[in-house]
Chain A
Amino acid sequence: MFACLHGSGNLKGLAFEFSPLVERSAPGTVTFDVSGLDRLFGLPQDVAAAIARRAAESGVKANLALASNPDAAICAARGFFGAGIAPYGDEAKFLGELPVELLDPSEELRETLERWGIRRFRDLAALPPLGIAERLGSEGLRLRELARGEARRKLRPLEDPPRFEDSLELEYPVDLLEPLAFLLARLVNGLCTRLATRALATDELRLRLGLETRAAHERTLRLPVPALDPKAFLKLLQLDLEAHPPAAPVVLVWMEMNPVKPRFAQSGLFIPAAPEPVKLELTVQRIQAIVGEGRVGSPELIDTYRPDAFRMRAGVPLHDASRGQVRPPQASLGGAPLGHPVSLILRLFRPPRPAQVAVTSGRPGFVAAEGVRGKVLDLAGPWRTSGDWWTSDPWSRDEWDIALSDGAAYRLYCEPRGWFVEGSYD
């Protein structure tokens, strides 16, 4: 069973939503294979109704025809207004009333047919094939086959990858995020359906909002792994727009999803559970909306001796190489071997607390800072460190480990700007 759309709008995109085999038969005409859709939708009438409904939703204005072969579907879509189905085996009768011009004959053949009084499909279909072959040659025979709806051929499918994009031009500007979310939901659902029909997922969503001021507000969401979850996408977009709202009312919404192969993960009984990537991304976005951007992620050390040097990497790389490998079994309790050294950790003050330090014999004797005050009972240092002197942002300092009379141990340092308490050993 084949379907043909003849009209205007994103015909190709609509066809790809229903079939991977799409042929661009002529400008404004696409034909696609809908075999097997009966298992999804039911009767051919139901398939036609589903295509027509989706066409109306996506703003495509086209005639639709379903037939047992591509050429009959093309002729029917070009000749009849609205949606129609050529009954199997009765195509000749169904197409009989259509004018011969629809078959696009050559000028010479058109004159001959005109002279013979052949004006409709049924007239041409009624002629004997032997006589046509003798008088009109192979082209005449092909036209007769088309007129009878009996031509059999394969589709020439489009090979260029389809773009998964859609847009909505608004009749009036939208200045609140809530009504905008409804429009986004429509685009997200449509694009996700199109991706799902091609067994694809996406790893990047691009959103462009045309503003009333003629400026554009662009946002890109990158997902840690390919996913196809419209609800999660919509929530991510909402959170992102709440954090980065457009500067003016929106008059145009354009969205594109990058098509990629979906991720297939085989989980195992002995692999610890990990957060679902899209859910984790959503959680991270929600937390970022509370604590601020760039404050949630996985810390990554930088190859430098500069104190407190790290960068935040967005999200957690849950699918590193080590995951999924068989690990040696560990006892659930006491997994760490006895004698395993436990390290003392520094708890940092961010920013470092400026300190008043009384120096005795070149060493700190008394320290006072915000929340820190006491006599130095014991100390180690100074440890002189410096770096980046070859750049515009050099650093140098003398560090002490000190135990104060307030009962705590701290790291104290002195740099050209003064004394600071960097943190406590905790």
Chain B
Amino acid sequence: MGGAAILKKQFESVLGGGALDWQARPAPALVSSGVPELDQTVGGLPRGCLTEIIGAASSGRMSLLVAMLAEAARRDEVCALVDAEDAFDPVSAAAAGMRLERLLWVRCGHRADHALKAADLLIQGGGFGMVAMDLGDTPPQTARRISLTSWFRLRRAVEYTPTVLLAVSRRPNAKTCASLTLECVREDLEWSGKAQGRLLRKSRTRVGGGKNQNIRRFTPANAGERKRGLHADPHSPAAQMTFFAAAAHPSLPR
């Protein structure tokens, strides 16, 4: 038996509790996403991890992202939004309850590579409660060109920090680097009224496991089972969410 093994035995005997898993890492702390339905389903957003929000156009990705940013700002945290396609609408975000003064907005002008560099600098700078990278309108072929190394670098940079790193895109790009993947699928739009009085009222979205995706769920029971403290649960139920359209048209009566 080597010296290291003897030491390990001695530690285990002193600390008790049987064999120690030296590779195990503590389960990440979870914070509220700002959407109770989602929190009930996935448990919250993991700090120090990359969470990927994927979905087609109009699937509610941006609404979900802004709800998460607004919740972080409500906790008095400073947030950063790296906007690859310059698509963020501060007017509807403010109407949705986002405290814009707690948000650092980086407009990358249709450059995904700039977005990656900016996100990396923000995470390295530290102190942010949430850093979100919006690649939602970036063409899939461009987003696919982002190497897995870049995603791995981001994951390593955010590890052991209290920052929640979010990435929004059409298709999953981060692969295994993402600790949590949320897939948004729009179910329907609700309209009300007739003719001139007709209004877009609500959009219903299902967030959760599709055929190809699963929601990774954190529970105290399974948190220590895997190396990274995460456990995949493909049978997690999907969260049904309703987004109200009042904020998108703040000047109109609803």
A residues bordering B, Cβ < 8 Å? 271-276, 279-280, 282-284, 286-287, 290-292, 295-301, 305, 307-310, 312, 315-318, 320, 322-323, 327, 330-350, 378-381, 383, 385, 401, 403, 406-411, 423-426
Shortest distance in angstroms between A396's beta carbon and chain B's nearest beta carbon?
14
Residues of B within 8 A of A411 (CB): 248
* Complex contacts, A424 vs chain B, CB 8 Å: 57-58
Nearest B residue to A280 via CB reads B125
Give the Cβ gap from A412 to chain B, nearest Cβ, in Å.
Answer: 12
- Which chain B residues (105-131) contact chain A, with CB distance < 8 Å? 105-109, 111, 114, 117-118, 121-122, 124-129
B49-84, CB under 8 A of A: which get 1 and which 0? 000000011111111111100010011111000000
Known: A298-B101, A347-B89. A408 touches B96 (CB 8 A): no
Residues in A with CB closer than 8 Å to B62 are 345, 347, 426
CB closest residue in chain A, given B137: A347
For the complex, give the distance between the alpha carbons of A330 and B71 in Å: 11
Closest to A422 in B: B89
Complexed CA–CA distance, A274 and B186 (Å): 35
Chain A, Cβ-Cβ closest to B78: A274
Q: How far apart sit A409 and B118, CA to CA, in the bound complex (Å)?
A: 30
Complex contacts, B40 vs chain A, CB 8 Å: 334
Interface extent on B, as a size class?
A: 35 or more
Which A residues touch B43, using CB under 8 A?
333
Interface flags, B154-174, vs A, CB<8A=1, else 0: 000000001000000000000
A334 touches B107 (CB 8 A): no
Question: Which B residues are in CB contact (< 8 Å) with A317?
Answer: 101
CA distance A347 to B61 in the complex (A): 10
Give Cα distance in the complex from A345 to B56, angstroms.
15
| CB-CB under 8 A for A343 and B97, given A279-B127, A290-B118, A335-B71 | yes
Q: Given A310-B90, A333-B32, are A295 and B106 also a contact pair (CB < 8 Å)?
A: yes
- A298-B100, A426-B61 known; A271 vs B34 contact (CB < 8 Å): no
Given contacts A273-B127, A335-B32, A347-B136, contact A342 B243 (CB under 8 A): yes
The 9 closest A-B pairs by CB, nearest first: A275-B127, A343-B247, A343-B96, A408-B58, A283-B125, A344-B243, A299-B90, A426-B62, A335-B32
Task: Given A308-B89, A333-B31, A401-B200, check contact A322 B189 (CB 8 Å).
Answer: no
Bound CA–CA A13/B117 (angstroms)? 43
From the candidates A283, A315, A334, name the one contacting B39 in the complex (CB within 8 A).
A334
**Contact of A297 with B199 in the complex, beta carbons under 8 Å:** no
The minimal Cβ–Cβ distance linking A340 to chain B, given in whole angstroms, is 7
Jot down 19 A-B pairs with beta carbons below 8 A, ordered by A.
Answer: A272-B129, A298-B102, A299-B105, A301-B94, A332-B32, A332-B44, A342-B244, A343-B67, A343-B243, A343-B244, A344-B247, A345-B89, A345-B93, A345-B247, A347-B89, A347-B136, A348-B89, A378-B189, A426-B58
Would you call the interface of chain B mostly helix, strand, loop, or mixed? mixed
Which B residues are in CB contact (< 8 Å) with A307?
A: 91
Q: A275-B126, A378-B191 are in contact. Are A334 and B32 (CB under 8 A)?
A: yes
Could you tell me if A332 and B30 are in contact, using CB atoms closer than 8 angstroms?
Answer: yes
- Whether A350 contacts B87 in the complex (CB less than 8 A), given A301-B94, A332-B31, A343-B92, comes out as yes
Which single member of B88, B189, B199 contacts A403 (CB below 8 Å)?
B189
Q: A290 with B114: in contact, given A299-B103, A336-B36, A409-B203 (CB under 8 Å)? A: yes
Task: Spell out B's residues near A (CB within 8 Å).
Answer: 29-32, 34-36, 39-40, 43-44, 56-67, 71, 74-78, 85-97, 100-109, 111, 114, 117-118, 121-122, 124-129, 136-137, 162, 186, 189, 191, 193, 198-200, 202-203, 241-249, 251-252
Question: Quick one: given A283-B121, A345-B93, A346-B89, are A426 and B63 in contact (CB under 8 Å)?
Answer: yes
| Residue in chain A with minimal CB distance to B118 | A287
Across the interface, which residues of B come within 8 angstroms of A308, CB to CB?
A: 89, 91
Determine how close the nearest CB of chain B comes to the CB of A334; give it in whole angstroms: 5
Question: Is the CB–CB distance between B100 and A301 below 8 Å?
Answer: yes
Closest CB in chain B relative to A116 CB, distance in Å: 76
A409/B200 in contact, CB under 8 A: yes
Cβ of B96 and Cβ of A345 under 8 Å apart?
A: yes
In the complex the two chains form, what is the Cα distance from A284 to B118 in whole Å? 9
Beyond the given A280-B125, A296-B105, please list 11 additional residue pairs across the A-B interface where CB-CB is below 8 A. A279-B125, A299-B105, A316-B78, A331-B32, A333-B43, A334-B36, A339-B36, A343-B245, A343-B246, A344-B244, A411-B248
Smallest CB gap from A348: residue in B: B89
**With a CB–CB cut-off of 8 A, which chain A residues contact B122?**
283, 287
Provide the residues of chain A in CB contact with B88, threshold 8 Å.
Answer: 299, 347-348
Q: Give Cα A334 to B39, complex, Å.
A: 6
- B248 adjacent to A345 (CB under 8 Å): yes
Q: From B32, B57, B75, B244, give the contact of A272 (CB < 8 A).
A: B75
- Is the Cβ of B87 less than 8 Å from the Cβ of A301? no
**CA of A383 to CA of B39, assembled, Å:** 37
Task: Pick the contact of B126: A279, A315, A408 (CB < 8 A).
Answer: A279
Kindly list chain B residues whose C-beta atoms are within 8 Å of the C-beta of A330: 32, 75
- Would A291 and B109 count as touching, CB distance under 8 A? yes
Neighbour of A320 across the interface among B101, B200, B203, B246, CB < 8 A: B101
Residues of A within 8 A of B63 (CB): 342-345, 426
Contact: B101 with A287, CB < 8 Å?
Answer: no
- Distance A252 CA – B126 CA, assembled complex (angstroms): 37
Contact between chains at A343 and B248 (CB < 8 Å): yes
Would B200 and A425 count as touching, CB distance under 8 A?
Answer: yes
Give the residues in chain B near A310, CB-CB below 8 Å. Answer: 90-91
Report Cα–Cα, A378/B189, bound state, in Å.
9
Contact B36 A425, beta carbon cutoff 8 Å: no
Establish whether residues A287 and B78, one from each chain, have CB atoms under 8 Å apart when the complex forms: no
For the complex formed, measure the closest distance between the CB of B44 and the CB atoms of chain A, giving whole angstroms: 5
Residue of A at shortest CB range from B100? A299
